[in-house]
Structure 1
Amino acid sequence: MVVLPILLVVGFFLLLASFFTVKQQTAVIVERFGKFNSIRQSGLQIKIPVFDRIAGRVNLRIQQLDVIIETKTKDNVFVKMKVSVQFKVLQEKVYDAFYKLEYPHDQITSYVFDVVRAEVPKLILDDVFERKDDIAIAVKRELNEAMTTYGYEIINTLVTDIDPDIQVKNAMNRINAADREKTAAEYEAEAQRIRIVAKAKAEAESKRLQGQGIADQRREIARGLVESVEVLNNVGINSQEASALIVVTQHYDTLQAIGADTNSNLILLPNSPQAGSDMLNNMVASFTASNQIGETMKNQPKRTKKKDDHTSLDFNPSDPE
C-alpha cells in the first residue's frame, strides 16, 4: 500500500517533466540519450522524460556585439575604434549555430579585429573619419562570408566611434581653430576693404557735389555781378565805376558779417574806416591807368620785317602825322 502513493507521486512528476514551453523568437535543442533529436519552436512542447533532455536554447532575435579595436593609421596615429555588429541566428540553421560554433561572440570579434587592422593602416587619419562607412562595409562583407557557414546572418556593421590619441585630438583642434581664425581674418579684411571703398566713394561723391555747388555758387555770383553792372550802366555809371562800387559794397557786407558772428577769428585787412574809400579810389585809378596804357599801346607803330632784313615803321593811317 505504501508503494502506490510513491508511484503516483513519481508518475506526477514525470508527467510534469514531459511538458515544457519555448518562448517567442527562441529555439530549443532536444537531445535523446545525448544525441540530437529535434528543434522545438515557440509554444508548449512535449518530450519523453528521462530519455529526452533540453540541450540548449538558441536566441533568434537580433543581437548586437560592440568590439573596441586599437590600431594604427597610415600616418602612424594610434586610434581606438568601436565597431557595432548586429547579427542573428537563421531559423533554418539553428542546428549549425548550436553545434558548429561554441563561442560566436569570440568568433565575430576575431573577424572584426582582422578586417579593421587590415583596412585602417591603408588610410591616413582624416580618411579614416571620411571613409568609416567603407570600413564598416568591409567588415560586414567578411563576416557574412565567414558566419553564414555557422548559421549566423550579419544584419549590419557600424563604426560608431573613432578616438585618436589625446595629443592628436588637441593638435587637430588647434589646426581647426587656426583655420577658422584664418577664415575669420579673411572675412574681416574683406569687410574692411568694402568699408574703405564705400567711404572713398562717398568722399568722392561728396567732393564732386561740393565742387559742383561751388561752381554753381560762383556762376550765380558772376551772373549777379553782370546784372548789377548792367543796372548801374543803365543809370549812367560806367563798367569800371560799377565794378569798384560792387567791390566796396562786398567789402562792407563782409565786415558786417564778421561783426555779426561773435565766434569768428577772421581778420579782414585793411579794416580802417577809410579803407573802403581808399580801395575805391585805388581801383578807379587802376582802371584809368589801365585804359591809358591800352590806348598808348594801340597808338604805337608796329615793326615789320622786310625782305632785306631791315626794320621799317608801319604807321597807322589814322594816326596824326
Structure 2
Amino acid sequence: MCIPCFFTISTSEVGVVERWGKYTRLAQPGLGCVLCPMEQLVGRISFRVQQLDVRVETKTSDNVFLVATVSVQYQVLRENVFEAFYALTNPAQQITAHVYDVMRAQLPTLELDAVFEAKEDLALAVKQALSDTFTSYGYQILQTLITDLDPDQRVKNAMNEINSSKRLKFAVAERAEGDKILQVKSAEAEAEAKYLSGVGVAKQRKAIVDGLRTSIVEFSENIEGSNTKEVMDLLLLTQYFDMIRDVGSASHCRTTFVPTSRSLGDELRGSLLQADAALKSH
C-alpha cells in the first residue's frame, strides 16, 4: 500500500526523487508529493551561488612558506542537475583537491615578491583548471579569488625591515641634498653680500675724495695766499678732531688720551700719506 507523503521545495532549489532507488524526476519549488515507500525525496540541489574558501600552505621558489587563501564561487547548472547530484560524492572536497593541485604547482615557480604581483594570474589558472574539470559534472565556476597571502611572521618582519631601510636611505640622501643646496645658496649669498659691500665701500671712498677735492678747490679760491698743503693739513686736522669727538662720545669710552704737538698737522699728514703709499705698494 502506497501512502502519499508531502514535502516543500524552496525557491532556487529542486528536489531529486527516486523510485525504488532509481532516479525518476525533479521536484520543482513549492508543494510536492511522493508515494511512500515506492518513491523517496533523496536530496535537494540549490541553484544559489556558493563560495568555498580553501587555505593552501606551500612554499615559493626562494624557500619561503606561506598560506594562500583561495575563494571559489560556483553554481549548479540547471540543465545538469542529474550530473551535479550523482556524479560527485563530495563536490566541496573535490574542488578543494583541485585548488591544492594548481596552487602547489604554480607557487613554487615564483619568488615571494612575485607571488604578490601574480595574484590575478594565479586566480585565472585556478579558475581555468576548475572550469575544465567541473563543467562536465554540472558545476559552473563563476570566479576564483586569491583573498589572502600570509607568509610567516618572521618573513613579514624582515620584509618590513628591508622596506624601512630603503626608505631611510632615501631620506638620508634627500636630507644631504637639501643641506648641499643650503650651503651652496649660503655661499652665493655671502659672495653677493661681500661684492655689494665692496661696491659700497668704493663708492663711499670716492664720495670722500670728491668732497675733499671740492673743499680744497673752494678753500684755495676763497682764501688768498693759501696753498694745497695747508688746506690738506686743515682738512686732516678737522677729520682727526671729528674722530676724537666720536670716540669720546661712545657709551663705553671712559678716558681718551689726545696727543698735543705744534707739528701735529704735519705729523698727521705725513702718517696718512705714508699709510696711503704703503697700501698702494701692496
TM-score, with normalisation over the residues of structure 2?
0.89
Structure 1 window deviating more from structure 2 (109-118 vs 212-221): it is 212-221
Instruction: Between the two structures, name the one with larger relative contact order (CA 8 Å, sep ≥ 6).
Output: 2
> Does the C-alpha gap of structure 1 residues 58 and 285 become closer, same or farther in structure 2, counting only changes over 3 Å?
closer
Cα offset, 1:282, TM superposition? 3.7
Cα offset, 1:94, TM superposition? 1.0
Distance 2:182 2:136 in 1: 71
SS in 2 for 1:280: helix
SS in 2 for 1:83: strand
SS in 2 for 1:74: coil
Cα offset, 1:50, TM superposition? 3.0
SS in 2 for 1:47: strand
Aligned partner of 1:248 in structure 2 is 237
Aligned partner of 2:73 in structure 1 is 86
Match of 1:261 among 239, 250, 255: 250
> Does the C-alpha gap of structure 1 residues 104 and 76 become closer, same or farther in structure 2, counting only changes over 3 Å?
same
Q: Following superposition, which runs of at least 4 residues in structure 1 exceed 6 angstroms of deviation?
A: 283-286
Distance 1:100 1:184 in 2: 62
Identity across matched positions, percent: 42
2:237 and 2:268 in contact (8 A); partners too: no
State the one-letter code of the partner of 2:192: E
Distance 2:179 2:31 in 1: 82
State the one-letter code of the partner of 1:153: Q
Distance 1:121 1:264 in 2: 89
Deviations 1:210-238 (A, max 9, x none): 11211121121111111111111112332
Aligned partner of 2:18 in structure 1 is 31
Cα offset, 1:67, TM superposition? 0.7
Match of 2:119 among 116, 129, 132: 132
Aligned partner of 1:302 in structure 2 is none
Deviations 1:72-106 (A, max 9, x none): 11111111111111111111111111000010011
Match of 2:265 among 280, 292, 295: 280
Structure 1 window deviating more from structure 2 (32-41 vs 121-130): it is 32-41
Aligned partner of 2:7 in structure 1 is 20
Aligned partner of 1:203 in structure 2 is 190
Cα offset, 1:59, TM superposition? 1.5
- Is 1:175 paired with 2:162? yes
SS in 2 for 1:162: strand
SS in 1 for 2:35: coil
Stretches of structure 1 that go unaligned for 5 or more consecutive residues are 1-9, 287-321
Map 1:1-321 → 2, pairs under 5 A: 14=3, 17=5, 19-236=6-223, 237-263=226-252, 271-274=258-261, 277-282=262-267
1:26 and 1:59 in contact (8 A); partners too: yes
2:236 and 2:268 in contact (8 A); partners too: no
State the one-letter code of the partner of 2:266: N
1:258 and 1:266 in contact (8 A); partners too: no
Cα offset, 1:155, TM superposition? 0.9
State the one-letter code of the partner of 1:95: F
Cα offset, 1:205, TM superposition? 2.0
Distance 1:69 1:160 in 2: 12
1:241 and 1:284 in contact (8 A); partners too: no
TM-score, with normalisation over the residues of structure 1?
0.78
Distance 1:33 1:79 in 2: 50
Deviations 1:5-48 (A, max 9, x none): xxxxx99xx45x2x322111111111111111111232233333
State the one-letter code of the partner of 2:265: L
RMSD: 2.2
Distance 1:148 1:285 in 2: 118
Cα offset, 1:51, TM superposition? 2.3
Distance 2:270 2:237 in 1: 15
Aligned partner of 1:314 in structure 2 is none
SS in 1 for 2:82: helix
